[in-house]
C-alpha cells in the first residue's frame, strides 16, 4: 500500500476534563454524529460495491451497519483521533470482514468526512448531515420504485395491458403472414398454364380473355 501524505491530519483531541471524544454535551449532537457517520459509510462507493457483490457473505449489508458502529465506538474509547487512524481502521475492517485490500485510498476522503462531521456536530451545525440523510432517503425510495416496477413488468407475472399488447402484436403477425401466403398463391395461379380437355394449353391474352 502506498504511503499517505496529508498536509492536515485533521487531528481531534478531547477537551479537558473529557477523557474521550464522545459523548458530546447534548444527545442531539451524539445522535447527529452517529447519523452522519452512518451516511458517510453508506456513501462509500468501495464499500457499496463490496456489499452489492456480497464480498462479506450473506451478511454484507449488516456488516456495513456494524462498521458505522465500530467507527463511533472509537470516538467513545479514544482521547485523540486523526484521519490516518480512521483510514487504518477502515482498511483493517475491510480486509477482515470483506477480504478486500483497499488500494484506491478511498478510505482517506471517507476519514476526512468523518472528521469534518465530528467538528460540525461539535459546533452544532447539522445541515450537511440532514442533507446526506435526505439524499439517502431519496435513493432508498428510488430503489423501492425500481423494485416495484420490475415486479410489475416481470414476464412471469404480466399485467393486463401487456397481455393485450401481446395479443395485438400476435394478430398483426398473423395478418402479415396470411397476406403473404395469399399473394404467393395468387402469383402461382397466374403462372400455371391452363390445359383443356384435349390436352392443349390455353394461352390467355393480355386483357385476361381466352
Quick one: how far is CA 128 from the chain centroid? 23
**All 3 cell numbers of residue 151?**
415486479
CA distance 161 to 167: 10
Q: What is the pLDDT of residue 151?
A: 72
Give residues with Cβ within 8 angstroms of 210, minimum separation 6. 202, 204
CA distance 86 to 104: 15
pLDDT tens digits along 80-134:
999 999 999 999 999 999 999 999 999 999 999 999 999 999 999 999 999 999 9
pLDDT tens digits along 11-21:
999 999 999 99
CA distances to 39, 178, 182 from 93, rounded to whole Å, are 18, 67, 72
Name which of 40, 36, 17, 44 is nearest 121 in CA terms: 36
Amino acid at each position: 500500500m502506498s504511503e499517505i501524505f496529508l498536509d492536515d491530519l485533521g487531528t481531534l483531541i478531547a477537551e479537558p476534563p473529557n477523557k474521550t471524544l464522545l459523548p458530546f454535551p447534548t444527545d442531539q449532537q451524539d445522535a447527529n454524529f452517529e447519523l452522519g457517520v452512518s451516511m458517510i459509510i453508506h456513501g462509500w462507493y468501495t464499500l457499496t460495491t463490496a456489499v452489492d457483490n456480497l464480498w462479506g457473505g450473506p451478511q454484507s449489508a449488516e456488516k456495513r451497519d456494524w462498521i458505522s458502529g465500530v467507527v463511533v465506538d472509537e470516538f467513545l474509547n479514544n482521547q485523540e483521533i486523526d484521519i490516518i487512524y480512521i483510514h487504518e481502521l477502515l482498511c483493517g475492517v475491510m480486509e477482515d470482514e470483506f477480504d478486500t485490500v483497499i488500494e484506491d485510498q478511498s478510505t482517506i476522503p471517507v476519514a476526512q468526512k468523518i472528521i469534518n462531521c465530528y467538528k460540525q456536530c461539535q459546533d452544532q451545525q447539522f445541515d450537511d448531515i440532514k442533507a446526506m440523510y435526505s439524499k439517502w432517503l431519496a435513493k432508498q425510495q428510488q430503489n423501492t420504485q425500481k423494485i416495484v416496477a420490475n415486479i410489475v413488468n416481470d414476464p412471469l407475472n404480466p399485467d393486463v395491458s401487456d397481455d393485450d399488447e401481446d395479443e395485438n402484436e400476435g394478430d398483426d403477425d398473423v395478418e402479415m403472414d396470411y397476406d403473404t401466403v395469399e399473394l404467393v398463391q395468387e402469383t402461382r395461379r397466374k403462372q400455371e398454364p391452363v390445359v383443356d380437355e384435349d390436352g392443349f394449353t390455353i394461352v390467355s391474352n393480355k386483357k385476361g380473355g381466352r
